[in-house]
A and B are shown apart, each in its own frame.
Chain A
């Protein structure tokens, strides 16, 4: 603590659990976007990771509310009160509905996308597993070919709906912060967009890193064109993300309102390591340069695929730092604009580092189980089917996005 803070500010209200919550939700949104790029926009180069992204998104989505429950003073009241007595002027009141709606949508898409696989798993497995697959098939053991065809149409609609869903899920998180006028470091209408872009960035990076790692672990070769394609998407979104985050700070500095003097101290003196060092330098600029040079030179070999995945890892760390810098950083700055409080998360307790670490690890564990039950990789050996979506919309197929996908997909 330094300078003057209001006495009640000595205790930071939103702890490291909230940092984890926003991080996890962002990964959900980002991973889903990757999956939809293939399922809706027909970006073929992302085909090898499309189904994987979808179940990764689900694994993280299932954990998303947990950090909030661990954070709430009365978790036993939280679920009931949030759903049955929502206050309509509160952005936060939407959480339960948005989360639940999105969960239903993603589960539905997973069940449809994996339906063909599940039919064969149900046939080949015994006991509990067989019952599980039958349950996931909703009891329909031998769906007709017509129903599979219908599935494809529904999948496309769900994947399309899921995009605004993902935007709402994470844009909403940004609004939670951006619409608090009391908090100088949060209060900007750019916040929802910044959260959205950093979410997409983190999701792409996650899929890149996990896909590379899992391919190595499974003893299968990494499909370099896929990683390179992901890295191009990452590059684009990262550049947009950096632009907006820079715009936020530059506008604050240029307008030079009452709070700027303290905000400039916050980022240069109070959280310089996590903000300038990890978020901006290591997590944004460095990967941006690496990915940018690779894209400019048109590099696509094994080395560049590895470099891309390493950049993805840096981005993942950088976005986590960004969540910390926004949520914790914003609270360090006293609303009196006269000082800074301090926050060192405790190791133990409901809002300690240990719980946070477990909550952050949990989606990976769930993902592991999902990968066992519904291996998403089969698609690599299955005959490639034609799935060009939205041919009717001019520009989408012929535009840069699709072209890039085709170029790197082969």
Chain B
């Protein structure tokens, strides 16, 4: 790492300037860093460190199962291309007239659902309806994965995103067991994470490297139908706040007490 004197001075100057300017920014109109209700407020000037309340909304009723999100995610995050390793995937729910429910996710949905082999099994069934459900890490408020990690390699950032320190992860996979959503996987020996590691656990980070620079996660960016929305829940103008304003959202497996922060619209109780 190059750590020059010039860099250091720049850093210090930048920090001092930033601290001086922040309070002014906080008071600037249009920046919503406070909850509308009487919830605790975040004072950035008080060393809060840029805390956001990021949220993710999946509007299943919009998803067309094209698989672009899965592709974008794998490219953006250097995820192994094999279908057993995913930061995000798409499931399809098929309901028959008889009330049976079938679920599948051929190749984790990366190539979409239009190809014949995946659909042969539905031939001859009286299909009532069908829809797609994109899945990803729920960035739980009470993440069981963080609780069980023996070395503290997986942790929750101040802005609520659950990350893995892949330099510290020992690859014991307890977090994989603890995640009720199947959101985690062990990077196989052949693959490497963006950090350059294999045999460590990897998972969706909501594209932390992008969102901390003001960009949207790759999957949200490429979704052609707006089925994936991302933003600051405390900002009433953000797409997530807007989407949730009039629709009561569902979360996955609420009984487990994990308090997921991926909110689903347009799903029923068959979706787990």
Let me know if A73 and B200 touch, CB within 8 A. Answer: yes
**Total interface residues in chain A, CB < 8 Å:** 40
Query: CA A5 – CA B256 in complex, angstroms?
Result: 19
- Take A73-B170, A180-B177 as given contacts and tell me if A87 and B151 are in contact as well, using a CB distance cutoff of 8 Å: yes
Given the known interface contacts A14-B173, A182-B178, A338-B103, the answer about A7 and B108 at a Cβ–Cβ threshold of 8 Å is yes
B174 near A81 with CB under 8 A, answer no
B185 at the interface (CB under 8 A from A): yes
The stretch from A90-98, A158-166, A229-237, A388-396 touching chain B is A90-98
Best-buried of A6, A8, A74, A176 by chain B (most CB within 10 Å): A8
Q: Which residues of A contact B186 (CB under 8 A)?
A: 11, 13, 73
**Interface hits, B160-201 → A, CB 8 Å:** 168-174, 176-186, 198-201
- Shortest Cβ gap from B169 to chain A (Å): 7
**Nearest residue in B to A330 (C-beta to C-beta)?**
B177
The 0/1 profile, CB within 8 Å of B marked 1, for residues 88-116 of chain A is: 01111101000000000000000000000
Question: Which of chain B's residues has its CB closest to A94's CB?
Answer: B150
- A8, B177: Cβ atoms closer than 8 Å: no
The answer to whether A4 has its CB under 8 Å from any CB of chain B is yes
Pairwise interchain contact B183-A8, C-beta atoms closer than 8 A: yes
Name which of A9, A78, A181 has the most chain B CB atoms within 10 A of its CB: A181
B272 at the interface (CB under 8 A from A): yes
Contacts of A87 in B (CB 8 A): 149-152
Which partner residue on chain A sits nearest B103 by CB separation?
A: A4
Contact partner of B172 among A78, A86, A182, A335, CB < 8 A?
A: A78
Contact among A14, A72, A182 with B179 in the assembled complex (CB-CB below 8 Å): A182
Contact of A9 with B182 in the complex, beta carbons under 8 Å: yes
Contact indicator B170/A77 (Cβ below 8 Å):
yes
Chain A residues with CB under 8 Å of B91's CB are 4
Which chain B residue shows the least CB distance to A81? B151
Q: Quick one: given A78-B170, A182-B144, are A8 and B182 in contact (CB under 8 Å)?
A: yes
Q: Which residues of B contact A82 (CB under 8 A)?
A: 150-151, 170
Q: Is B205 an interface residue (CB 8 A)?
A: no
Q: How far is the CA of A338 from the CA of B102 in the complex (A)?
A: 9
B135 within 8 A of A: yes
Given known contacts A8-B84, A74-B200, A336-B272, is B168 in contact with A85 (CB within 8 Å)?
yes
A136 to chain B, nearest CB (A): 33
B103 to chain A, nearest CB (A): 4
Question: B residues within 8 Å of A by Cβ?
Answer: 83-86, 89, 91, 102-105, 108, 135, 144, 146-153, 168-174, 176-186, 198-201, 256-257, 272
15 contacts between A and B (CB under 8 A): A8-B89, A8-B176, A71-B172, A73-B171, A74-B170, A77-B170, A81-B150, A82-B170, A85-B151, A89-B148, A90-B149, A91-B148, A92-B150, A180-B144, A182-B256
Q: Given A181-B144, A337-B272, list of 18 further CB < 8 A pairs?
A: A4-B104, A6-B182, A7-B84, A8-B86, A10-B83, A11-B186, A13-B186, A72-B170, A73-B169, A74-B170, A81-B153, A85-B168, A86-B151, A89-B146, A91-B148, A335-B182, A335-B272, A336-B182
